[in-house]
Amino acid sequence: MAGDAQGTDAAADGAAQQPDGAGAPRADRRSWVRRHGPETLIGAVAVTIVGAVVSSVLGVLLPGEDDGKAAAVPSASPASPASPACEGETCRGLDPKESRCDDARTLAEGEAGVMRVEVRHSKECKAVWGKLTGARPGDPVTVSTSPADRQRAEVATGRTKYTPMLPVGDTFDVQVCAVSRAGDPEGGVPKGAEPCAGADQDDLARVVGAG
């Protein structure tokens, strides 16, 4: 009987020390649970699951490169301004408002009451034109770089009008003139008034230097 009891005890001890499928003896796991409580085991499992989820999310949001370096985030480059639609001779006769001569400067002004003319110049487009404001429908405005080289426009509606462009080089001499055909007594513009303005490369240097 004693031999049977010893055999039974030995078998029991061997069964207690047999590892289960998780790689830890059942007796050790039962004693760990008794010491730390089931809540601790549940908490450990929860932390493991949360850690795995966070790692997966960070792996999607912050992908790394194969060499272990952080992936560079491309910086947005500022949009470059549109290039002018013409230059020099190719600007002849074009509308300055549609030609993207965005660097244009006013070199000279002339006025009669509220009626005003301006000499406009674009270095990028290598062109000049006239601008008329405070006008009335039917009033003409002309820009010229010589007696034979000129462009003319007439106010159709509103009170502002631009002439078509003329090409110019590094040296130039330009005149812009307008005529008030009907006059504007309320604006101090007599009938037949002819405000004019003239400019050349020296005026351009002065305006650029002042800017």
For residue 38, name the pLDDT band (cuts at 50, 70, 90).
Answer: low
**Whole-prediction pTM:** 0.63
Q: 208 in helix, strand or coil?
A: helix
- Taking CA atoms, 153 is separated from 113, 121, 126, 132, 191, in Å, by 21, 17, 20, 10, 19
Structure confidence at residue 89 (pLDDT): 97
Query: Which tops the pLDDT comparison, 148 or 49?
Result: 148
